[in-house]
Amino acid sequence: MPDSVWAVVVAAGQGTRFGGRKQFAVVGTRSVLEHAVAAVAPASDGIVVVLPPDLAGRPDALDALGLRPEAATSELKVACGRESRAGSVRAGLEAVPSHCRIVVVHDAARPLASPSLCERVVGAVRAGADGAIPVLALTDTVKRVAGSEVVETLDRSALVRVQTPQAFEAAALRAAHAGDPEATDDAGLVERRGGRVVVVPGEEANVKLTSASDLALVSWWHGQLSSAGAGDGAGTVTARPGSEP
């Protein structure tokens, strides 16, 4: 289909800071990876799951990881992860059909992104942007430092926190990855080539798992969203652990 949407779910990391492969940690009754696949499935005609090499080579990987029920209406493929995140995204892109118009890139380490968030970034690209990313405002004061000294205090009104899933015109994303560049996110590569990247509102519950302590926060958010009946992550929560009353 010329207007098709494919998602690349990046799940190839070793989880060094987490203490193990965080994409297989359990939140509720499902793995982090299962949650991530379920988040992008409703908006996607197909999904490429980028796995560590030892798993990507298994013919039963999708079934063994329980991913088929999470994407019952989407075509599923597996790609073999590479040394860096950007390299793993490129591995996923290589498995995306050439006729695909929009590619969504989502980090498996963000298990609580809602399907509606994925649809918002896809909608922004359909409306004409080269890329669309979810963002949240900064609430802390931000300073630039050199060693142990403060250099300046930055204007946080022009700064945001960036999340995934991120959506892109497939041609723009493929061009941005030409030459195997590195970046912390795909939007940065599209920006370097002059692409127009727009923002949509992100979600507080869309926490990224980095260290083991993050799992407690993600599990708390999951419980709050589940009790609020927001299975897609769109619930309203009054407070979170460590927040002010």
Domain residue limits, the chain: 5-131+161-227
What letter does residue 32 receive in the DSSP assignment? H
- Rounded to whole angstroms, the Cα distance separating 91 from 3 reads 22
The pLDDT confidence band at residue 71, using thresholds 50, 70 and 90, is: confident
Give the pLDDT confidence of 114-138 residue by residue, as tens digits.
999 999 999 999 999 999 999 999 9
Per-residue CA distances from 41 to 160, 164, 232, 242 (Å): 27, 14, 12, 32
Give the pLDDT confidence of 6-40 residue by residue, as tens digits.
999 999 988 888 888 999 999 999 999 999 999 99
Q: What is the 3-state secondary structure (H, E, C) of 117-133?
A: HHHHHHHHHHCCCCEEE
Give the pLDDT confidence of 148-197 residue by residue, as tens digits.
999 999 999 999 999 999 999 999 999 999 999 999 999 999 999 999 99
Q: What is the pLDDT of residue 60?
A: 95
Q: What is the pLDDT of residue 116?
A: 97
> What CATH topology corresponds to 5-131+161-227?
Spore Coat Polysaccharide Biosynthesis Protein SpsA; Chain A (3.90.550)
